Every structure is written in C-alpha cells, then in structure tokens.
Chain A
Amino acid sequence: MSVIKTENICKNFGSLQVLKNVSLTVEQGEVVVIIGPSGAGKSTYLRSLNRLEKLQNGKIYVNDELMEDRINGKNHSPITKKRREELLLDMGMVFQRFNLFPHKTALENVMLAPMHVKGMKEAEAKAKATELLERVGLGDKLDSYPAKLSGGQQQRVAIARALAMDPKVMLFDEPTSALDPELVGDVLKVMKDLAASGMTMIIVTHEIGFAREVADKIVFMYDGAILEEGTAEQVFNNPKNERTKQFLDSVL
C-alpha cells in the first residue's frame, strides 16, 4: 500500500514552472530522500503534499485515497472537505527553520495540536508530549521556551510536535540546514531512530552520508522534475544522468 502517491503534479508561480509532472510513489515504511540543487522545487513538492501550496495540475493520493485531482487549478477529487482534513493529518511536517511557537514552552508546543485538533484531554496530551520529548532526548527541557534552546534542540522539539499527531508519514524539508554543524548529529540520530521504528518518511536533505544510511530510495530533482530515482547504491555510486553526476560532484 502506498502512503503517498503523486501523479504528474504541476505547480507554477506566475509564469515560472516550478514542478513539471512530478510523479512519485512512497510505500508504507519507506524512507525516501530527495536531493537536488537549490531551486529545483524540492520544498515546493513537499509543501504541495500537505497543501501549503496549491497545485495547478496533477493527482495526490494519500493512503490510496485520491485527495487532490487538480485540472487547471480546480480540484476534482471526490472526497469531502472533512475527509481531506483527516488525510492531511496523516502528514507531519518538519521545517528548515523549525517554526516552533515562541510563546509556548517545549511541552506546550507539542501539546497544542493534540488538544485543539484532536480534542485530547490536557493530562493525556501532557503525558504524550512528555514521552515524545523524552524520546527525542529533551526530557530535561520540557518547560523551556524555544528561545532558550539550541537550534538542534528546537528542531527535535519540532519533530516531537509533528509526531504528537500520530502521522503516517513525516515530511522533512532540510531539517538540518539551519543548524550549526556540531548540532546536526543529534537531529539526524532522532531521524534515524524514527526510520528504524518503521515510520514512512520523505526527507529533503543535503546530508549524503545520512541519506546513504537510511534511504530506501533516493530521488534526484532538477529544475522541477525528477531526473533519476533508485537505491542509494544506484544513484550515488552509478548515477546515470549527467546532471546527477554534476550535482553529486558538487556536494561530495
């Protein structure tokens, strides 16, 4: 069963075509790493999946349900708005700039959505948030405000916050790009543990070593299109496309 499937999705910003017929299938439990140069459309692709960007054309299936079926910007998907909201909750997202809520403590950041979206009782939400923050190694930072945390700690709170909604797939948009080099490892470790626990993940990253280690599938995006996909072995060791080779030479 696929958790996410996109078929020929297209996105323009004005006259700029940012996604050109991107088709990708992500199976249950699979870890997909998207690589590619800046401006390739990687962020836009992730953001389209959970509707932070509206597509012009193409289909998005979530758990094999047709969530988006856009033709010239109009959605022809048969599902109700309510069902779509439910499907969207299956996706958790982690941003490059963390986007934690600065007026709330780590614990409150993680508790907010379960309480207000799922109607979870405060005590239950607190127990769950505490457990998640312990899981990402921040059991001693429950009552800290984001401003008092390092970038790496903030990003781990953000991961816990997304996990609190029990998503079926986690989307990561360059989760370590804004971090000081010495803080990257802690975040990658949390992500590796998450992958090992069987979470389905789509990760945009420039951390090639990490990608090699966790990815079931590597996708190379360039200029709004997927130019190559395969296992880490195939894409990193024997890239077929000239662009892929050039890109790998530039980052390795």
Chain B
Amino acid sequence: MDAIVNGFNQIVGWMPALLQSTWVTLLLSVLSVLAGLIFSVFLALGKISKNKVISGISSAYIFFFRGTPLLMQLFFIYYTLPQLVPALNISDRFTAAWLAFTLNVAAYLAEIIRAAIQSIDKGQMEASRALGLTYRQAMRLVIIPQSIKRMVPPICNEFVMVLKDTSLVSIIALTDLTYQTKIIASNKSSALVYVPAMIIYLIMTGVFTYFFNKLEKKLSVYE
C-alpha cells in the first residue's frame, strides 16, 4: 500500500514538467500538420499536373520523403544541412523539428489528397469542361470540394500518427513529452514515469480521434 501511495505522489510531482513538455508535443504536431497541409495541396496538384516538369518534381519529392526514414530526415536537417549550407543552420531545435515534420508529413498528405482528387468520377471534369469551365475552375469549384470529404478521414488519421511520431524529436534533445520523460527517468532513476507519459499520449490521441469521428459523421450528410 505504501509503495502505491509513494508512486502516486511521485507521479503528481512530475506532472508540471510532463504537462509542459506535452504542450511542445502538441504544438509541434499541430503546426507540422497545418504547414504540411498547405504545402501538400501544391504537391498533390503538382503531381497530377499535365506539365511533366512540375509533376516530375512533385513525384520525386513525395518519393524521397516517403522513402527515407523520418529520423534520418530529422538528423539531416539538424546536423547535415548546417554543414552543407552554413546559412541554413537552424540552431533552434523546435524549428528544426517543425521543418522536418512539415516536409515529411506534406509528402504523406499529398498522396492522400491526390488519391482523393483522383477518386472523383472522370465525368465530373468532363461535364465541367463541356460547360466551358477551365481546368482550374473545374478543380476549384467541382473536383476539390467533392474530394475534401474523402480526404478528411485519412488526414485525421495522419494527424494521430504524427502526434505519436513526434516522440522521435527526443533524439535531437528537444524537450517534448518523450524527452522529458527520459530525463525524469534517468535523473530520478525511476522508470515509473513512463506510465503517466503513455497515458498522456493516449488521452491526446483519444480526444482527437473522438472529435475527428464526429467531424467525419458531419461531413457524410449527402451522398
């Protein structure tokens, strides 16, 4: 009994530090997905573009960032890039992590968006063109609005993945939830701290999943 009370008190004592680092994890995830989302729209449209150069560059980008480990990309941006191009020395760990995650998640989101756009029946583009809309107008007014509904579930899914993947940043000593947990574990030599840390991750993914499910239900009104 004493051991349990003791452990509980320990956990309460760690909470301020854990919650502070949770904020870093959350901020990094949200900012990466937001920035990645904007970037990914261009990548997706680029990949399906009829212009061979644009589609080639977009495809190569997506291939690269999906085909190499995220951890390597993080190292590359934090360690290698400053060596190659001194002007690109990102000393702030958060910014480096944000950049790495944005570039990476954009590639995944681009594939989601491309797949959603290409899942729209070809007849929609044909009807638009037959009515005199330009390709851009057809995309903006007809194709993309319809595809959004189909991209929301996988994008939400991707967000939850990113939220968990951000634990990788502990490797460049950015004080996210995982890194903070490791510090506590080694300083206080108590591995118990992994329990509340995992529960915090679980609460975050649980809350987001709950709201994303509600959003999906709302979007499936007509069809």
Report Cα–Cα, A52/B125, bound state, in Å.
10
Complex contacts, A88 vs chain B, CB 8 Å: 132
Complex contacts, B127 vs chain A, CB 8 Å: 93, 95, 99-101, 158
Q: Is B137 touching A116 in the complex (CB atoms < 8 A)?
A: yes
**B142 interface residue (CB < 8 Å to A):** yes
**A123 interface residue (CB < 8 Å to B):** no
Interface string of B115-158 (1 = CB under 8 A from A): 00000010110110111110001000110011000000000000
Q: Is B131 touching A52 in the complex (CB atoms < 8 A)?
A: no
Which of A51, A52, A113, A158 has the most C-beta atoms of chain B within 10 angstroms of its own C-beta? A113
Q: Is A103 touching B133 in the complex (CB atoms < 8 A)?
A: no
Instruction: Kindly identify which residue among A97, A147, A148, A162 contacts B131, using a CB–CB cutoff of 8 Å.
Output: A162
Complex contacts, A116 vs chain B, CB 8 Å: 133, 137, 141
Q: Is A147 touching B132 in the complex (CB atoms < 8 A)?
A: no
Give the nearest-CB partner of A52 in chain B.
Answer: B126
For chain B residues 53-104, which have a beta carbon within 8 Å of chain A? none
Q: Is A112 touching B132 in the complex (CB atoms < 8 A)?
A: no
Give the nearest-CB partner of A85 in chain B.
Answer: B132
Instruction: Kindly identify which residue among A95, A147, A161 contacts B123, using a CB–CB cutoff of 8 Å.
Output: A95
**B210 interface residue (CB < 8 Å to A):** no
**B2 interface residue (CB < 8 Å to A):** no
CB distance from A245 to the nearest CB of B (A): 34
Given contacts A102-B146, A103-B222, A147-B222, contact A95 B126 (CB under 8 A): yes
For chain A residues 43-77, which have a beta carbon within 8 Å of chain B? 50-52
Q: Is A99 touching B129 in the complex (CB atoms < 8 A)?
A: no
CB distance from B142 to the nearest CB of A (A): 6
Q: Is A89 touching B132 in the complex (CB atoms < 8 A)?
A: yes
Residues of B within 8 A of A (CB): 121, 123-124, 126-127, 129-133, 137, 141-142, 145-146, 222-223
Can you name 19 A-B pairs with beta carbons within 8 Å?
A52-B126, A93-B127, A93-B130, A99-B121, A99-B124, A99-B126, A103-B146, A103-B222, A112-B142, A113-B131, A113-B133, A116-B133, A116-B137, A117-B131, A117-B132, A117-B133, A145-B222, A147-B223, A148-B222
